[in-house]
Structure 1
Amino acid sequence: MSEMLRAPVEVKYADELDYLASVDTDSKPFSWRLSPRMVRLFVLGSERADGLDRVIPQKWFGDRSFVERSIVTLASDRGLLLIGDPGTGKSWLAELLAAAICRNSTLVVQGTAGTTEDHVKYSWNVSMVIGRGQSRESMIPSPIMTAMEQGVIGRFEELTRSTSDVQDALISILSEKYVSIPELDHDNIVFAKPGFSIIATANSRDRGVNDLSSALKRRFNFVRIPVVTNKRSEAEIVRFRTEELLRRHRIEVEVPPTLLDILLQSFADLRTAAAGATSDDEKLESALSTAEQIGVLEDAILHSQFFGDRALRAETLAGSLMGSLARRSPEDLAILNKYLHGVVEPRAKQDGGGWEDFLDGGRQAIAALS
C-alpha cells in the first residue's frame, strides 16, 4: 500500500473487510463477500448496538436511506445510478459499495467524449489477431465484461458525458445480461454470472450534455445524492477526507475548529450569493462543492507545512480559497472581491479573531491575482 499513490478501498481497508467477513453470519446475495447489513456497516460505521468488539469508522457521510436503497438495488437485477451535483461523494460511495460487496472496486470505465463502445464491451489485441486470428485469447475484455465474467460490480463514472452509442451498449448488458461477439464462430457469447451489476454516476449539472434515453433509465434505479447542507455533517466530511489525503504526505495535523468554521461559513456565504445571482456572470464558475472545500483545506495545510511554520493560519486559508475559486478573470475576482468587502469585512469588524486575518489574507491573494 505504501507504493500506491492512492490505494483502492479494498486494499486500504482490507483489515476491516476481513474482520467484518469473519463475524458476518447473515445470508449473502449471490457471490457477495459481505451481507447487506455488513456492507451498510462498513460504509456508515458501527454503533454500540451492533455488538462488535472493534469500532468500524464512518467513511461516507450522508443519509442512511441512500446507502440502504443503493445496497437493495445491487442485490436485485437492476443497475444503480448515483446522481447529484459535483462533490457530493457519488464516486466515493460507489467505490465503497463495490469494495464491500466484491472486494474489487477497480473495474471502472470513465465516461468522456472519447469513450467508445469498445470500452464497454471488448476490443482486440491486433498483433495476436494478425498472428493467430480472432479468438477469445486475442480479445481484450472491457472492465464491464470482466465484471460480468467474474460476477462482480462494474463501475461507470460520468455516464452522461459519454455519447449515446456508448450508453446504448449498456442497455443490452443491463437487460439481457450477456454480450455477443459476432466476430467469433464459437464461444461467442459472454454471459454475466450471478452477482454482476453496474454502479454508474452522473453529474446533475451535465444535464443536456448527453441525456440518458428512457430505455437506459428504465434499467437503472436512481439514487439522488443531495448537496450536504448540515454544517456538522459537512465539517465531518471535510475533516475526514482531508486527513485521509494528507496521510500520503505523512502529515498528521489538527485543523483548528475556528478555521474550519471560517471555511464552512465562507462556502455557505458564497453559495447563498450564487443562489441569489441573476446571471452566470454574477456566479463563481466553481460548483462550491464539499469536494472543493476539501481541496482548499488540503492546499492550505500543505502550504503551511512546506512554506510556513507548519501551523495552519487564517491568512493561508484565505489565499488557498481565493486561488482555488478564482478561475475566471475578471469575473470571479470581482465576485470574490465583493464578498471580501461586503461580507468578510463587516464580520471581521464585529467578530474579530480569525476573520480579521482571513480578510487580510484574502486581500493579499486578490491583489496578487489581479
Structure 2
Amino acid sequence: MSDMLRAPAEIKYAEELDWLESVDDGPKPFSWRLSPKMVRLFILGSERADGLDREISPKWFGDRSFVERSIVTLASDRGLLLIGDPGTGKSWLAELLAAAISRNSTLVVQGTAGTTEDHIKYSWNVSMVIAKGQSRASMIPSPIMTAMEGGVIGRFEELTRSTSDVQDALISILSEKYVSIPELDTDNIVFAKPGFSIIATANSRDRGVNDLSSALKRRFNFVRIPVVTNKKSEAEIVRFRTEELLRRHDIELELPPTLLDVLLQSFADLRAAASSASSDDERLESALSTAEQIGVLEDAILHSNFFGASALTAEALAGSLVGSLARRSPEDLAILNKYWHGVVEPRSREHGGEWDGFLSGGRKAIETLS
C-alpha cells in the first residue's frame, strides 16, 4: 500500500475482508466472496448485536436501505445504477460493493464523450493481428468483458456522460449476458458467468447530457443517493475522511471540533441560500457536497501543516473555503462576499470564538481574489 497513491478498497481493507470471509457461514450467491449480510456489515460497520469477535469500522455513511437494496439488486440478474448529485459517495459505494463481493473493484470503464463501444466490449492488439491474424489471443477484452468471463462485478462510471451508441451496447450485455465477436469464425461468443453484474453511476446534474433510453433504464435497478443533510452523519463522514488524510500524510495536527462545526454550518447556510436563489447567477457553481467539504478541510489542513502552525486555524479554513468555492469571477465571489457580510459577520458579533477568525480569514481571501 505504501507504493500506491490510492489503494483500491480490496487492498486497503484486505485484512478485514480476509477475516470476514473466514467467519462467514451465510449463503453466498453465485461466485460471491462474502454473503449479503457480511457485505452490508463490511460497508456499514459492525454493531454489538452482530456478535463478532472484532469491530468492523463503517466505510460508507448513509441509509442502510440504500446499501441493502444495492446488494439485493446485484444478487439478481439486473444491473445497479447509483444516481445522485456530485459528491454523494456513489463511486465509493460502488467500489466497496465490488471489493466485498468480488475482491476486485478495478474493472472500471469511465464514461466520457470519447468512450467508444470498444471500451465496453473488446479491441485488438494490432501488431499481433498483423503477425498472426485475428484470434482470441490477439483480442484485448474490456474491463466489462473481463468481469463477464470471471463472473465478477464490473463498474461503469458516469454512464450519462457517454454517448447513446455506447449506452445501447450495454443493453445486449445486460439482457443477453454475452458478447459476440463477429471477426472470429470459432470461439466467437463470450458468455457471462454467474455472479457477473454491472454497477453504474450517474450524476443527476448531467440530466439532458445523454439521457438513458427506456430500454436501458429497464435493465437497471435505480438507487438514488441523496445529499447528506444530517449534521451528525455529515460530521462522521468528514471526520472519517480527514483522519485518513492525516494518517496517509503522517501529519500530527489538531482538528478542533469547534472548527468542524463552523465548516458544517457554513455549508448548511450556503445550501439554504442556493435553494432559495431565483437564478443560477445567485447560486454558487459548486454543488456544496460533502465531498467538497472534505476537500476544503483537507486543503486547510495541508496548508496549515506546511505553511502554518501546529493546529488548524479558523483563518486557514476560511481561506480554503473561499479559494475552493469561488470558481466563477465575479459571480461566486459576490455570493461569498454577501454571505460573509450578511451571515458570518453577525454570527461573529453574537458568538465570537472561531467565528471571529473565520470572518477575518474569509474577508482577506475574498479581497485577494477580487
Bin of the TM-score, shorter chain as denominator length? over 0.9
CA deviations on 1:125-164 (whole Å, 9 max, x unpaired) are: 0111111111000000000000000000000000000000
Matches within 5 A, 1:206-355: 206-355=206-355
Measured in 2, the distance between the counterparts of 1:241 and 1:38 equals 23
Measured in 1, the distance between the counterparts of 2:200 and 2:247 equals 28
In structure 2, do the counterparts of structure 1 residues 235 and 153 end up closer, same or farther at CA, with 3 Å as the change threshold? same
Unaligned 5+ runs, structure 2: none
Aligned to 2:156: 156
Unaligned 5+ runs, structure 1: none
Q: Does 1:112 align with 2:112?
A: yes
SS in 1 for 2:183: coil
Aligned to 1:101: 101
Q: CA deviation at 1:254?
A: 4.0
CA deviations on 1:85-124 (whole Å, 9 max, x unpaired) are: 0010000000000000010000000000010000000000
Q: Does 1:44 align with 2:49?
A: no
User: What is the letter of the counterpart of residue 206 of structure 1?
Assistant: D
Q: CA deviation at 1:248?
A: 2.3
Size of the aligned set, in residue pairs, is 370
User: What is the letter of the counterpart of residue 271 of structure 1?
Assistant: R
Measured in 2, the distance between the counterparts of 1:188 and 1:244 equals 46
SS in 1 for 2:251: coil
Matches within 5 A, 1:72-151: 72-151=72-151
In 2, are the aligned partners of 1:5 and 1:248 still within 8 Å (CA)?
no
Measured in 2, the distance between the counterparts of 1:252 and 1:15 equals 25
Aligned to 2:20: 20
Measured in 2, the distance between the counterparts of 1:253 and 1:194 equals 48
SS in 2 for 1:223: strand
Q: CA deviation at 1:249?
A: 1.2
Measured in 1, the distance between the counterparts of 2:93 and 2:252 equals 25
User: What is the letter of the counterpart of residue 307 of structure 1?
Assistant: F
SS in 1 for 2:55: coil
User: What is the letter of the counterpart of residue 120 of structure 1?
Assistant: I
In 1, are the aligned partners of 2:254 and 2:311 still within 8 Å (CA)?
no
Measured in 2, the distance between the counterparts of 1:179 and 1:225 equals 31
Output the aligned Cα RMSD.
Answer: 0.7
SS in 2 for 1:70: helix
In 2, are the aligned partners of 1:79 and 1:219 still within 8 Å (CA)?
yes
SS in 2 for 1:83: strand
User: What is the letter of the counterpart of residue 199 of structure 2?
Assistant: I
User: What is the letter of the counterpart of residue 274 of structure 1?
Assistant: A
Aligned to 1:198: 198
Q: CA deviation at 1:310?
A: 2.3
In 2, are the aligned partners of 1:243 and 1:252 still within 8 Å (CA)?
no
Measured in 1, the distance between the counterparts of 2:14 and 2:87 equals 26
In 2, are the aligned partners of 1:112 and 1:161 still within 8 Å (CA)?
yes
In 1, are the aligned partners of 2:254 and 2:310 still within 8 Å (CA)?
no
Q: Which runs of 4+ in 1 moved over 6 A?
A: none
Measured in 2, the distance between the counterparts of 1:218 and 1:169 equals 14
Aligned to 1:2: 2
Measured in 1, the distance between the counterparts of 2:287 and 2:40 equals 29
Measured in 2, the distance between the counterparts of 1:322 and 1:9 equals 32
Q: TM-score scaled to structure 1, two decimals?
A: 0.99
In 2, are the aligned partners of 1:78 and 1:174 still within 8 Å (CA)?
yes
User: What is the letter of the counterpart of residue 121 of structure 2?
Assistant: K
In structure 2, do the counterparts of structure 1 residues 53 and 253 end up closer, same or farther at CA, with 3 Å as the change threshold? farther
User: What is the letter of the counterpart of residue 268 of structure 1?
Assistant: A
CA deviations on 1:48-96 (whole Å, 9 max, x unpaired) are: 1111111000000000000000000000000000000001000000000
Q: CA deviation at 1:253?
A: 3.7
In 1, are the aligned partners of 2:253 and 2:305 still within 8 Å (CA)?
no
Q: CA deviation at 1:317?
A: 0.1
SS in 1 for 2:190: strand
Q: CA deviation at 1:247?
A: 2.5
SS in 2 for 1:198: strand
SS in 2 for 1:154: strand
Measured in 2, the distance between the counterparts of 1:363 and 1:29 equals 57
Measured in 1, the distance between the counterparts of 2:301 and 2:348 equals 22
Measured in 2, the distance between the counterparts of 1:252 and 1:93 equals 29
Measured in 1, the distance between the counterparts of 2:7 and 2:218 equals 34
SS in 2 for 1:6: coil
